[in-house]
Structure 1
């Protein structure tokens, strides 16, 4: 079995959070997400999930020049950022894409699918 990251990108200009969403829209999204989470859990593929605050809330710790220093802000600026994620464990990429399709349908959003690397045997 392979673990896959299903990630939910957000637009950096908007930086949406649950606190800024329309309450009716938030309720619908939470219901759809809850149903998706229930299906992931009951099928036995669920490993971990979480939603992230926007990049403006980040602190970057940089140790590239020796002594690590912390500074406010994301490590990079980008048009999109990771807003949430699921880690699932399934037999293959086709199964992962199937789950991503269900997430995209439930959330009416784009979902990126990426496998975790494994250490080569030998």
Structure 2
């Protein structure tokens, strides 16, 4: 079954962090991603630019509304994602717990609903 690991961290917390500590977290993504590849579970993944670069589109009363930036004002922003193919939720949770950003943010594990 495929799961998406949604990586959410606070951009403000990251900006305030010691740059060496933040650099260590960023560098640890290489081995983490390689471990997924070696285990044969990685389907795909990408990191995202800052939330200030987002554009949110909605339709209200038949009119397109465009909002620069993320739709919701939240403490954490979506920073990236992985799609993994694993046997069950417990395995997906195990991979999420190994994600480097789990130490400074949260990893939402969500099953993919095939179309």
- Range class of TM-score, shorter chain: 0.7 to 0.9
What's the CA shift for 1:89?
Answer: 0.8
Which residue of the other structure, out of 29, 33, 39, is the alignment partner of 2:29?
Answer: 33
Give TM-score scaled by structure 2 length.
0.79
Contact 1:45 1:90 in 2 (8 A): yes
Equivalent residue number for residue 84 of structure 1:
80
Aligned-partner SS, 2:30:
helix
Q: Residue in 1 aligned with 2:8? A: 9
Alignment pair present for 1:60 and 2:56: yes
Q: CA deviation at 1:26?
A: 4.2
Larger radius of gyration: 1
Residue 98 of structure 1 is matched in structure 2 by: 94
Give the 4+ runs in structure 1 shifted more than 3 A: none
1:117 correspondence with 2:107: no
Contact 1:15–1:54 (8 Å) recurs in 2: no
Paired positions, count: 112
**Using a 3 Å threshold, how does the CA distance of structure 1 residues 81 and 46 change in structure 2: closer, same or farther?**
same
Root-mean-square deviation (Å): 2.4
> Normalising by structure 1, what TM-score?
0.75
User: Which piece of structure 1 moves more, 38-47 or 68-77?
Assistant: 68-77
